[in-house]
Structures are given as structure tokens and as C-alpha cells.
Structure 1
Amino acid sequence: MTAAPSPGPGSPAGTTPSSVPTSRPQDPRPRLPVTSVLRTPARHLSRLLGVLSPVGWACLAVLACCLLLGAHPGWQEAWGAAAVLGAVVLSAGLWLLPRGSHSVTHSLLDPYVTVGDYALVRVTVTSTRSRPLLPTRMEMPVGAGRAVFVVPVLPPGGSHDRGFVLPTRSRGVVVVGPVVSVARDPVGLLHLERTRTTAQTVHIHPRTLRLGAVLHGTLRDIEGAVTQDLSSSDVSFHALRDYVAGDDRRHVHWPTTARTGRLMVRQFEETRRSSLLVLLSVRAQDYAGEEDFETAVSVACSLAVDGLRDGRQVRLLTQDTSLPTASPLRLLDASCLLETHEATGTCDDLARHGYATSPEASVVVLVTGQETSRAVLAAARSLVPPSVSMLALRTGQRQLSRLHAGDLPVVDLDRLEQLPTALRKAA
């Protein structure tokens, strides 16, 4: 007869090893967190609630009140009103059912336009079904506005084109699209938008001019561009010539001298560097109005773009930022976002900061408004070395005129078309 095993020293009396609880095996299936499980229904619920218009919310509130009055006091009239409102809500939902498959595209004739030019947008709606599609209302946001059009009945494979002209009266960046199809019921309880395309941007550049006048101001530099001016000492070799009294003997070409029997020296072409620094004031107090600031932006961009096209080194600075000058297009794109500010430095602060960041500049042009005083302009000139050519252009004056603020030539102009004449006056 076999004895039963005795309990261990730490086990309570009357228990056996077989009665000790064991741990349950873990469930190999991953458990989703509660938040992820509830996220999808919450998303659908928020989308459903977003379909209701203010009128729809009011109708639901009245429907709930009628149901309460019909259930608690037992008003038969409340039940009748609830039945009518319920039928209206259910019938309104039928208008939101998809009416067909529309393939929608919208394209810009040119995403880069100038102020005053035409910016055209073409919208094409095509039917992809084998049956006719009912009329559909579509909308396309254009900046702060909204273009609304109705697509007529489309036969199988048919298409409908619409063209729109964007307003380009002012400089800026305009977002066009996306095109959405709009479904709403006749009562106005429900409103549903389905996105059909993606948004695109149109850059409205400031007006610029191709300048006939060249801003003078060059510095001798061994890394500069080769010119047609001859020099007796430089790094770009041009030809040999006879020795003239006063020439540096280090430039004597001894092999040619031994062959010809007379002293021959090297002649060089000068290498020069012309670096243009354009300073544009964005201080609101410097301008009499927004129109004067727009003229100043056009003047500054005209100077910078003209310098880039001539192969010069160009920088365009404001009190807030430095505009990219890798190419004229990048410069004009960045200029679309320029705005005036109240709390910015004056023009002398701009000149100090500009020359500190671009000490290699050989020409400095300060573009500001008519409200900038001559004392501030004179202070700005004193912060730039005398060896650097400097000019100030003020917009807003109704008559083209030239004056001086200390040693700084100042030209007042009113329109962008006066810029070439203003540069000739400054020269």
C-alpha cells in the first residue's frame, strides 16, 4: 500500500501538488489596443456628422423633441410630426448616393504668370460608365473664391470641358483646386463633397523690365570675368608687345626677346568682378500705400533679374530674409510672398546688415518708398565704403526727379516703366 505524498514545508495543510494553480498559456494572437479598435467607427461617425448642415442639425433637434413628446405625454400630433420629419430626413439621404463615375482632371495653362497676364485653368470631366450620367454640381476653390459649375448629362464615354480665367491683379501665390463634386438635397439638410483632383499652385510674379542701362561698379579680381580692357599686369594672358619704359621687367618674355633681338613683354586682359546687392525695404512706414510697395518689389526684381541674366553675382535682401538668386525663376517665386511689416529695421539698419553679409558687393541699390527721409538715406550711405557704388530708388513720387542725400544719389519714380530713365539719371 503506497502512502500519499506529504505536503511541503511551506504548503498549507490539506493541499497536494496537483491542486496548486498553474499559469495559463498566453494567447498567441496579438491584441489590438482599444484606441485603434474605436478609431475606425469614430472616423465614420465624424464623417457622418460632417454631412449635416445647420438646417439638418435643427431638423434632427426638432425630430428628437417630437419623439420625446410623443413617447412621454403621448401626443399624437407629435408622432405625426416625427413621421413627417423622419421621411424628409430619409429622402434627403437618397440625394447623397453616388450618381456615377466621373473622371475629373484640371490643368493650368502656365503655373507661372505675371501680374496683369491671363492665367487659364481647364477642367475636363469624362464619363467612365457604359450608361449616361446624370447632371452633377462641381466646385473648385480658387484662392479665397470658389468657381461653381454644373456638368450636364454625359453619354457613355462623353466629356465636358470648362475653362476659367484666374484673377491676376495682384502678386502672390494662388491655390487652385481641388475639384470636388457636391451633392445636396433640395431642402438643404445634407451636404456632401467628394474630392476629384489634387490642388495646384499658381505663382503670380511681379512685373519686371529688361533694363537698357548697365549699373557701373566693378572691382579688379583675379577670379572675375575676363573683359576686353588690356592691362600690363593681370592673370589672363593676351599677347606680346614691345617693351615701353616703365613696364615691369618681370613680364619680359625672354625667349621671344632672344629670338627677335628686342625686348618683348607680356600683355594681359583685365579680369573684373561686378557684384550687385539689391536692398528692398519691407518696412510699412516707408511707403505711402500698398501700390508704392508693389512698384518697389517690381523695381528690385527687375534689377536682380537683369543682373542674373547678364551673368553677374546678385543678392536681394530685405529686413526679414534673403531671396534665393540661383535662377530668375526661383527669385520671382520667392518674391510672390513678400509683404510689408510694421516692426522692422529702418533703411540704415538694412544697409548695415546687407553689406555685412555681402562685403564683396561692388554695386549697392537701395529700393524704398517715398516716406523714407533723406537723413536715413544719408546714414545708410555712410555705412557702405566709399569705393562701392551706391544708389537709392524711392517709389511713390508723381514726377521723376533726382536729388542727393549727402553723397548718395537718390532718384524718385512713380512707375516701373521709369526705371531705365531713373538709372540713366543716376549715372
Structure 2
Amino acid sequence: MTSLNTLNPLTSTPSPGAPTTSPDLPGADAPGTTGAQVLTRTGWTAAGLAVASLLAGATLGWQEAWAGAAALIACLLTALGWILHQGGHTVTHGLIAPRIAVGDHALVRVTASNEGTRALLPTRMEMPMGEGLAEINVPLLHAGESHDEGFALPTERRGVLSIGPVMQVVGDPLGLARRSRAMSTAQTVHVHPRTVRIGQAVHGVMRDIEGAVTQDLSMSDASFHALRPYIPGDDRRHVHWKSSARTGTLMVRQFEATQRASLLTLLSVREDDYLDPDHFETAVSATCSLALSSMMESREVSVLTQRDTLPTTGPARLLDASCTLDLTGAEELDALVNHGTGLHPGASIVALITGAGCPEATLAKARLRIPAGMSSIIISCGAAEPGISMLASTPVLNLDTVDSLPQLLRRAL
């Protein structure tokens, strides 16, 4: 039989799921691992009362104390014997998708089966869901039967969540002892930030920049500059034979280097720059939207924060890494600009992404640190209404939600 549950918000956190295998968590309990057999708080209280009754019976000679101690000891021994029972269930759980976006609904499916020849008594199982806990009540299962439960989980925050392992929890009816046993392996799920399609806004600017002639000279490019005498080591394919015959000296072609459009995205993770944690989520979404848009066009893109350099070798790696971003007491935005442009001096467009709490004076300092040959744009997240302002010659996109980003970019660029 199958049931579908929504986790109690008091005992759950967002996460996804079903039959797709995800990487096991390092150090996670393997199936069959048995937790320590422990007395509960009630059990320890009963054990203390048993000891006190024994002492009272021995020192004061109270028969009632001896009888009470005997009863308590009998209950404790029965409880310990109760939790020695090993259930024969086979348990699997899986995720519908190990990667989902914020706002999507994910399903964790747990299946408990009886693959033996004897009926299995009802049991209770627990499965960690991030910081919460899902409870699974498995009924009596005859040979060959199984029980499914699915948990629909809202995913309102990006992050990396752990799912499982499913733990079989065995306890006596009096609640004196409890033992748990891992029945499956833990899995992980990445809740990616929500992204939007940028369209052609930034792409048009990049196409305008790409192919622009720079002042740098090159021995291999598309824009011819001049002829110069041959130097040992030059590629002979660039020898200009007609000029060499006329002058009597080997002459080679020299070219002007052309610029290839690339995007440098600088995301501030400075806590003081954001008036609300939700504004930072908007900033992360805007950062990933810009980067993914450039990656889809096979453009060179770099994403940096004051603390990290995010991988941009593929969309999945970028989005996975973005799940771990968090606010810190980092340096101001101008220091990030210095660091980013120093690492990527060939960038053609620099996008500064910060919160509405970043002072205009800091934005001005950051803008002045951008080299003259780079185009720039500032995205400020947390505005009450979307709009565009200017900081000298640099457009400032005041973003309320990431949905406003494509329209504001088309207006600004």
C-alpha cells in the first residue's frame, strides 16, 4: 500500500526525492548498522528507582522496597529483551531528482518490503530530512508485501540537504529502552537558486565587443597590422614572400589582437550590503542567471565572491557550488573588484551584484576600480520597485525580484 504525506513543519525541512540513486554522504550509517542500545530518560529514572529501592530494602529491611526493586528490574530486563528484536524489513528510499530549483516540489519515496517467508510485526521508522525528521509507521507485512510512503516537501530555500538514512526504531511499550538501526544509506540533494532566461540583452553587448581591435600586437590573429623583419622563432607561415623578395629580407606579418567577449560576475557576500536575507537570495539568482546565459552562448564567464571562486565549467557545477554561498563579514565591494579584475584582466564586461544596503559611496569606489577597457553594470538587489538609475556612466539595475532582471537589462544595455 502507498501513502503520500507532507512533513510536519515542526519535524521537517525541505528536500526532494524518489528512485534515483544519489551519492552517499561521507560517514553515513550503512544499511544494517545498529545504534547503541540505550535506556531512555524514563528507563534511567526506573533504573535509579530500582537502585534506591534495593538500598532501602537492604538498609531498612522494607519488604515493599524489595518488591518495588524486583518489579522495576523485571521491567528493565523485559525492555532490553524487547529491543533485541531484529526486524527483517528491506528498506529503500530515493529521490525523484537529486537537483531541483527553489520553489519546486520534490518527493522522497520510502519503500519497506518483507522479502522473507514470515509475517513482520508493525514497526516505526524515522528518516532525517535536512534538519527535520520524517516518521514512517510500517503496518503488519505478510511475506512478499511492501509498504510505500511518499513525502512531498516544499523547497523554499537553496542549500544542500541530506536525506536519510531510514532508521528502524525499536522500543518497548513502557518507553524504557530504545534502539535504532540504519536501514538505508544517506543521500544528498542540491536545491538550486531559481534562475531566469536573460534572452539577448547581454548577448548583444557581447557580440558588439567581440572582435573589437585592441592595442595589443599578436603574431596570429585576424586583423592585419604591419610587416616587420623576421626574427628567429617566428612562424614561417606568416612570412610575406612578395615583400621579402622586393626588400631582400625576410618579412613577416604582424597582427593586432582582437578582443573575445567575456563576462566577469562579482557577487558581494558582505552581510552589511543586504537589508534582508531574501535580498541575498535574489542576488544569487541574478548571478547564476547571468552566468548561465553566457555559458549557453559558449562565452567565457567567471564568478567570484569575496570568499570563493565558483566553478564555471558547466551549469550543474556552478549551481551546485552556489548552494553553499552564505553571507559573511567580508571586505567591501571595491576590494572584490580589485581582486576580480586582477585575476581576469581580459574580461570585457564586469557585473557587480550587491544588495540595496551597499552605500552609494562604496558603489562609486568600486566602479572607479574597474579598468577603463571594461564595460560595467551594477545590479542592486532589494529595491521596493524595479528601476534603473545611473552612477556616472554605469547603469544601476535596482532589482526587486530576479524576474525583473531580463527586462531591466534590455532597457539598460
TM-score range, shorter chain: 0.7 to 0.9
Match for residue 381 of structure 1 among 367, 379, 383: 367
Q: By how many angstroms is 1:47 displaced?
A: 6.8
State the secondary structure of the residue aligned to 1:72.
helix
| Contact 1:375/1:405, CA 8 A, preserved across alignment | no
Bigger Cα displacement from structure 2, 298-307 vs 70-79: 70-79
The within-5 A match list for 1:12-411 is: 50-212=37-199, 213-215=201-203, 216-217=205-206, 218=209, 220=211, 235=221, 272-341=259-328, 343-411=329-397
Cα displacement string for residues 62-88 of structure 1 (whole angstroms, at most 9, x for unaligned residues): 101111121222221110111111121
Tell me how far apart the structure 2 counterparts of residues 357 and 253 of structure 1 sit (CA, whole Å). 37
CA contact (8 A) 1:100 1:129 kept: no
Aligned-partner SS, 1:210: coil
Local SS of the residue matching 2:331? coil
**Inter-partner Cα distance in structure 2 for 1:106 and 1:273:** 48
1:423 has 2:401 as partner: no
Q: Return the alpha-carbon distance in structure 1 between the equivalents of residues 297 and 142 of structure 2.
A: 56
Q: 1:247 to 1:75 in 2, by over 3 A?
A: closer
Measure how far apart 1:411 and its partner are: 1.4
The 1:99/1:249 distance shift into structure 2, 3 A limit, reads closer
| Residue-by-residue CA offset, 1:34-79 (whole Å, 9 max, x unaligned) | xxxxxxxxxxxx976x511111111111101111121222221110
Per-residue CA distance 1:160-194 (angstroms, 9 max, x = gap): 11111223011111110000100111211101101
SS in 2 for 1:174: strand
Note the C-alpha offset of 1:271. Answer: 6.0
CA positional deviation for 1:421:
1.2
Secondary structure at 1:297 match in 2? helix
Match of 1:35 in 2: none
Whole-Å Cα distance in 2 between the matches of residues 325 and 354 of structure 1?
A: 15
Q: CA deviation at 1:374?
A: 2.0
Give the CA deviation at 1:375. 1.7
Aligned to 1:32: none
State the AA in 2 paired with 1:361.
A
Contact 2:354–2:380, Cα closer than 8 Å, also in 1: yes
Which ranges of structure 1 fall in alignment gaps of 5 or more residues? 1-45, 223-232, 238-245, 256-265
Q: Relative to structure 1, is the Cα distance of residues 118 and 179 closer, same or farther in structure 2, using a 3 angstrom cutoff?
A: same
CA distance in 2, matches of 1:412, 1:100: 59
Q: Is the 8 A contact 2:35 2:180 kept in 1?
A: no
CA deviation map 1:218-242 (0-9, x unaligned)? 35489xxxxxxxxxx97459xxxxx
Deviation at 1:413, TM superposition (A): 1.5
Indicate if the aligned counterparts of 2:98 and 2:189 stay in contact, CA closer than 8 A: yes
CA contact (8 A) 1:52 1:191 kept: yes
Q: Hey, what does 1:11 align to over in structure 2? A: none
> How many equivalent residue pairs?
350
Question: Secondary structure of the residue that 2:263 maps to in structure 1?
Answer: strand
Query: Structure 2 vs 1, CA of residues 357 and 420 (structure 1 numbering), >3 Å: closer, same or farther?
Result: same
1:6 maps to what in 2? none
Contact preservation (8 Å) 1:99, 1:134:
no
SS in 2 for 1:300: helix
CA deviations over 1:239-278 (Å, ceiling 9, x no partner)? xxxxxxx9979999999xxxxxxxxxx9x9x964111100
Structure 1 stretches of at least 4 aligned residues deviating more than 4 Å after TM superposition: 219-222, 246-255
**Structure 2: 5+ residue runs without aligned partners?**
1-33, 214-218, 229-237, 243-252
Report the residue type matching 2:360 in the other structure: R
CA-CA distance at 1:91 after TM superposition: 2.1
The answer to whether the 8 Å contact 1:378/1:407 transfers is no
Cα distance between partner residues in 1 of 2:382 and 2:389: 15
Separation in 2, partners of 1:93, 1:113 = 43
Letter in 1 for 2:261: S
Structure 1 residue 214 displacement after superposition? 2.2
Give the superposition deviation at 1:402: 1.6
Question: For residues 47 and 300 of structure 1, do their structure 2 counterparts lie closer, same or farther at Cα, with a shift above 3 Å needed?
Answer: closer
Looking at structure 1, the residues matched to 225 and 341 of structure 2 have their Cα atoms a distance apart, in angstroms, of: 37
Q: CA–CA distance in 2 between the matches of 1:155 and 1:120?
A: 27
What displacement does 1:139 show? 0.7
| Structure with greater Cα Rg | 1
C-alpha distance after superposition, 1:73-108 (max 9, x if no partner): 222111011111112112222321325311111010
Q: Is the 8 A contact 1:234 1:271 kept in 2?
A: no
- Cα distance per residue 1:104-159 (max 9 Å; x no partner): 11010000000011111111111121111111111101011100011111111211
Q: Report the TM-score, using the length of structure 2 for normalisation.
A: 0.79
| SS of 2:202 mapped into structure 1 | coil
Q: Which has the higher contact order (CA 8 A, sep 6+)?
A: 2
Cα distance in 2 between the residues matched to 1:332 and 1:128: 40
Change (3 A) 1:189 1:302: same
